[in-house]
Amino acid sequence: MKVRDVMTTEVVTVEPGESLKEVARLMVERRISGVPVVDGEGRVLGVVSEGDLLVKERGARRIRGGPLAWLVDPVEVGDRIRLGARVAGEAMTSPALTIAPSRPLSAAAEMMLAQRVNRLPVLQDGRLVGIVTRADLVRAFARSDAAIAREIREDVLGTHMLLDEHAVEEGEVHLSGELGRRTQAELLPALAGRVPGVVGVASRVTWREDDTQ
């Protein structure tokens, strides 16, 4: 399952000169937690998130360590810049983390967790074509056993292994049958486990030839 399968294609965007008040109103009205900031040619310059706006809401705070502490604290420096922001281009996080529509959902999840972001603009040939959020990934994980079984059959078993003996119950994949080589049989559970919505894999697949010797 790819990013293109779950991303939102009608993306709400703002220009760098948009006021932060308008950005906040837009996020509340559309019930979204962040918006990409784009220039006149549609290139993504950054993202304004709820976190960026909360810096403004919190206001200035006393710096521990003396009046010059902010000079050596990169987090505090970033917050100070946002405190003076009036428009989206001044408050946004830049450069934006982006992803291609052809990447697997596992790659999107890894990026979001590693970088602690809730959304990724989706770029195709440098153009914004969608946005994928953590909620999109959760919805993909919650899909039906039938949908999971279909993807395993079409994208894992049919393409790689040519083995069609499997079942899915509450996200648990059960594999059985026989393959030609041991490396194939040992790789199969890992491939099935990467399918969105799979919570575990139980494999009873055997092999005819031990090619690990």
76 pLDDT band, cuts 50/70/90, is: low
Residues 6+ apart with CB under 8 A from 199: 170, 171, 172
List, for residues 13-49, the tens digit of each pLDDT value.
999 999 989 999 999 999 998 999 999 888 899 999 8
Q: With residue 48 as reference, give the H or E element that holds it.
A: strand 44-49
Mean pLDDT of the 151-172 span: 76
Predicted confidence at residue 19, as pLDDT, reads 92
List, for residues 90-120, the tens digit of each pLDDT value.
888 888 899 999 998 889 999 999 998 889 9
Predicted confidence at residue 77, as pLDDT, reads 47
Q: Which architecture does CATH list for 3-141?
A: Roll (3.10)
Per the confidence metrics, is the pTM higher than 0.85?
no
Euclidean distance between CA atoms 98 and 121, whole angstroms = 5
Task: Report the range of poorest mean pLDDT among 17-31, 69-83, 135-149.
Answer: 69-83
Sign of CA dihedral 39, 42, 44, 50: positive
Predicted confidence at residue 63, as pLDDT, reads 45
Predicted confidence at residue 182, as pLDDT, reads 92
Predicted confidence at residue 17, as pLDDT, reads 93
Euclidean distance between CA atoms 97 and 114, whole angstroms = 11
Indicate if the pLDDT at residue 69 is higher than 60. no
